[in-house]
């Protein structure tokens, strides 16, 4: 995913920090697997997977939220980003790995950096805070909304060696240019991959174009319609076997509010401020902190992990049932 603007998207670090907050909220809300990102002055790159096929919804929500913030802060109005974002499907892990190197090298591929010595470019690359690269190479703790595992696993060998091997792979691109990938990026506006893969995507695209003239399917219109927050909380109460008020009380090392925050964002489409109000947490930033702790808690507590899995199963089934009801399909009782 690539997004450009003729304007400056990020005037200072405060803008970049707010963009990442908006990004983290929507990664959670739309169930996105974000593999990597890079923020530049007038554009950004995102590489992600959409298990729920909701790329447009995700990007529209992200760009709208950031534009509203940017306009208010800088006392301007109107569109911040011109035209639609550019997105391409990627064919398999090997192409994804090559793309990740291309994206992560963005901060040192600008004109002012290209004539610097390799050592200086590497120093800038490793210290660039507005990128997922530091998380990949172990310079900092991985961000809670980032999923570096699948790409790092492509390095092979023992897990502890992955950050070093990935660092060598990416920084090797400063010495030897990946001309094959650069050529491939120009071959199709819709995909990155083999000749066969590009042909398949182009054929699928043409088939989809034929359906645009048809009336929109009801189930498609309601596919991403959020659930009422009270329905989400009802499932949480049942699975944890506690009272509703328990989710609004502050308890040390208690995961209830963190789990509730994740589900309310993902299934009820609430933002972090709305979750803070509903759960009596205090602020949107406090909710963000709760969410950042949750992955670690899940990895260490098998019972909690099973409960979260059960909650997501119930909520997904409830959502699917509502979609079938809205589309007029028969629903099994």
For residue 50, give the CATH number of its domain: 3.30.70
> What is the number of H-type helices and E-type strands within the chain?
15, 5
CATH (domain of 311): 1.10.1750.10
Residue 30 domain-assigned (yes or no): yes
| 232-286 confidence digits (pLDDT tens) | 999 999 999 999 999 998 888 889 999 998 888 878 878 778 888 999 888 877 8
| Nearest to 121, CA basis, from 130, 110, 131 | 110
pTM of the complete model: 0.64
pLDDT of res. 223: 43
pLDDT exceeds 60 at position 209: yes
Structural domain ending residue among the three candidates 152, 176, 197: 197
How far is CA 277 from each of CA 21, 29, 264, 291, rounded to the nearest angstrom?
Answer: 18, 17, 12, 15
Do residues 273 and 286 make contact, with C-beta atoms less than 8 angstroms apart?
no
Question: What is the average per-residue pLDDT within 317-322?
Answer: 67
Verify that 167 and 267 share a domain, yes or no: no
- Average pLDDT over every residue of 31-39: 93
Domain span at residue 126 reads 2-197
Residue 265 within a domain: yes
Q: How many domains does the chain have?
A: 2
Q: Does residue 215 sit within a domain?
A: no
pLDDT at 103: 93
Distance CA 41, CA 15 (A): 11
Sign of the dihedral defined by the CA atoms of residues 192, 196, 201, 206, in that order? positive
pLDDT 10s digits, 100-144:
999 999 999 888 888 889 999 999 999 999 999 999 999 888 788
In a domain, 221, yes or no: no
* The predicted structure's pLDDT at residue 110: 87
Tokens of 81: 């980003």
Compute the distance between CA of residue 207 and CA of residue 191 in angstroms, rounded to an integer: 16
Same structural domain, 14 and 132:
yes
Q: What pLDDT score was predicted for residue 12? A: 92
Spatial separation of the C-alpha atoms in residues 249 and 255, rounded to whole Å: 11
The yes-or-no verdict on residue 222 having pLDDT over 60 is: no
pLDDT averaged over every residue in the chain:
82
């Amino acid at each position: 995913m690539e997004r450009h603007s003729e304007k400056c998207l990020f005037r200072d670090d405060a803008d970049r920090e707010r963009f990442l907050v908006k990004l983290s909220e929507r990664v959670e809300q739309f169930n996105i697997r974000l593999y990597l990102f890079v923020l530049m002055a007038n554009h950004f790159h995102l590489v992600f997977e959409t298990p729920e096929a909701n790329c447009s919804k995700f990007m529209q929500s992200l760009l709208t939220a950031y534009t509203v913030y940017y306009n208010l802060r800088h006392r301007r109005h109107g569109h911040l980003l011109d035209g639609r974002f550019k997105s391409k499907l990627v064919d398999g892990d090997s192409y994804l790995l090559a793309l990740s190197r291309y994206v992560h090298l963005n901060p040192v591929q600008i004109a002012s950096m290209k004539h610097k010595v390799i050592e200086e470019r590497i120093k800038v690359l490793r210290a660039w805070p507005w990128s997922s690269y530091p998380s990949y190479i172990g310079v900092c703790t991985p961000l809670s909304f980032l999923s570096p595992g699948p790409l790092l696993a492509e390095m092979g060998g023992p897990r502890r060696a992955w950050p070093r091997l990935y660092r060598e792979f990416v920084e090797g691109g400063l010495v030897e240019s990946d001309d094959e990938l650069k050529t491939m990026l120009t071959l199709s506006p819709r995909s990155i991959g083999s000749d066969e893969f590009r042909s398949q995507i182009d054929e699928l695209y043409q088939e989809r174009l034929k359906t645009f003239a048809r009336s929109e399917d009801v189930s498609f219109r309601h596919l991403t319609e959020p659930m009422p927050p009270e329905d989400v909380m009802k499932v949480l109460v049942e699975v944890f076997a506690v009272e509703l008020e328990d989710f609004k009380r502050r308890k040390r090392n208690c995961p209830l509010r963190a789990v509730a925050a994740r589900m309310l964002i993902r299934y009820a489409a609430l933002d972090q401020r709305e979750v803070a109000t509903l759960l009596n947490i205090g602020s949107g930033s406090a909710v963000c902190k709760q969410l950042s702790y949750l992955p670690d808690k899940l990895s260490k507590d098998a019972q909690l992990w099973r409960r979260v899995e059960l909650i997501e199963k119930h909520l997904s089934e409830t959502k699917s049932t509502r979609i079938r009801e809205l589309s007029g399909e028969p629903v099994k009782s």
